């Protein structure tokens, strides 16, 4: 009985040339200016909902989570 390796080998036909090497493509570095919209969770201490809204609109409060990107738009792309 032949060995397993002998069963797996397929002889190459004499008329079948070896495959040509694929040329490597050189990658380039690109820098982009991105506009990103995020949904974040913030908290603020206030006496009323209206006061909380006013404080958050003024930039007060603390961010609980960094949030997820909900929209990304490329503003400009620079080629180095």
What confidence tens digit (pLDDT) does each residue in 25-36 have? 888 888 898 888
Structure tokens at 41: 């969770």
CB contact burial 21-41 (16+ within 10 A = b; e otherwise): eeeeeeeeeeeeeeeeeeeee
pLDDT reported for residue 23: 79
Query: By percentage, how much of the chain surpasses pLDDT 90?
Result: 26
C-alpha to C-alpha distance for 71 and 36, rounded to whole angstroms: 6
- Cβ partners under 8 Å of residue 36, min gap 6: 69, 71, 72, 73
* pLDDT score recorded for residue 66: 81
Whole-angstrom Cα distance, residue 43 to residue 63? 6
């Amino acid at each position: 009985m032949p060995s397993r390796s002998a069963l797996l080998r397929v002889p190459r036909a004499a008329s079948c040339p070896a495959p040509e090497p694929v040329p490597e493509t050189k990658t380039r570095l690109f820098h982009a200016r991105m506009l990103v919209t995020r949904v974040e969770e913030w908290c603020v201490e206030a006496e009323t909902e209206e006061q909380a809204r006013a404080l958050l609109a003024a930039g007060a409060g603390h961010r609980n989570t960094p949030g997820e990107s909900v929209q990304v738009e490329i503003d400009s792309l620079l080629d180095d």
